[in-house]
Amino acid sequence: MNNWVENNNRLSKTFVFANFVEAFAFMTQVAFLAEKHNHHPDWTNIYNRVEINLNTHDAGGTVTDKDRKLAAAIDQIKIA
């Protein structure tokens, strides 16, 4: 998988899975992480691809440590 890219006040990454079920399982885990971090992504899902964009609205829509911490936690998710 590729690394997170910071561009246009967003931290972005695209995740590709074997199928929709794996992508949806990943998104479910991200949802629980987002609640735990009280920080919610802007994301899209098309079949086996999930694109996540992070920035902090409370900081004027810029990338902050809050985004970097959530990105690092997302990278730790394992899909069987």
CATH code of 52's domain: 3.30.1360.20
pLDDT tens for residues 7-55? 999 999 999 999 999 999 999 999 999 999 999 899 999 999 999 999 9
Query: pTM of this prediction?
Result: 0.89
CA-to-CA distance for 8 and 68, rounded, in angstroms? Answer: 15
CA-to-CA distance for 2 and 57, rounded, in angstroms? Answer: 25
The reply to whether 46 falls in a domain is: yes
The reply to whether 1 falls in a domain is: no
The reply to whether 2 falls in a domain is: no
Domain of residue 52, residue span: 9-75
The reply to whether 51 falls in a domain is: yes
CB atoms near residue 60 (< 10 Å): 9
Please count the structural domains in the chain. 1
CA-to-CA distance for 21 and 66, rounded, in angstroms? Answer: 28
